[in-house]
Amino acid sequence: MKLDIIAQLVQILKDAPDVGAIEIRRGLFGAWSSVRVSKAGHLPNAGGAGPIVVTQSSPAAPSGAPSASVPPPPAGPQLLEIKSPMVGTVYSAPEPGAQAYVKVGSRVNVGQVVCIIEAMKIMNEIESEVGGVVKEVCVQNAQPVEFGQVLFRVDPHA
């Protein structure tokens, strides 16, 4: 990639505060195979072969500036999140017409399959890293998901 193109991408990031990252993937023979622009706060897929990622860094607060206050944690039960480990399409059941792996109120155990994420035509079973009761399903069947996106919220104390 040429330096002037990289400079243009950096300028786009500076001029558009909504843009958080620009990811460019190279295909065969060095040709560009895809360009992806992500909103601020959404991370592009960290995996893949040879991506070039240009990200905008936020300037540090001046030394005399007051720091932003952190809101207190909610008074309700602390819910643990099951997040997407990849970019892809989420499926709530093993096949069309079958019952969902989990739904609100389902008890899940560590290692239990909670959904499938299809990435590059490969079906990846997503296992729970926490045990408890599913309190919230944050995605719909056949919805595209991002890396790190919350799929489920689980109450470990229920």
SS (HEC) of the chain: CCHHHHHHHHHHHHHCCCEEEEEEEECHHHCEEEEEEEECCCCCCCCCCCEEEEECCCCCCCCCCCCCCCCCCCCCCCCEEEECCCCEEEECCCCCCCCCCCCCCCEECCCCEEEEEEECCEEEEEECCCCEEEEEECCCCCEEECCCCEEEEEECCC
- What is the mean predicted confidence (pLDDT) over 61-90? 69
Instruction: State the pTM of this model.
Output: 0.53
Q: How far apart are the first and last CA of the chain?
A: 53
Which two tokens mark 28? 């065969």
Q: What is the mean pLDDT of residues 72-100?
A: 86
Distance (Å, rounded) from C-alpha 128 to C-alpha 28? Answer: 36
Q: Where are the domains of the chain?
A: 3-55, 80-155
Average pLDDT over residues 8-35: 66
The CATH architecture assigned to 80-155 reads Beta Barrel (2.40)
Give me the chain's average pLDDT, please.
Answer: 76
Which band of pLDDT confidence, cut at 50, 70 and 90, is reported for residue 112?
Answer: very high
Whether 90 has a pLDDT exceeding 60, the answer reads: yes
Question: Could you read off the pLDDT of 37-71 as tens digits, one per residue?
Answer: 666 655 444 444 444 444 443 444 444 444 444 45
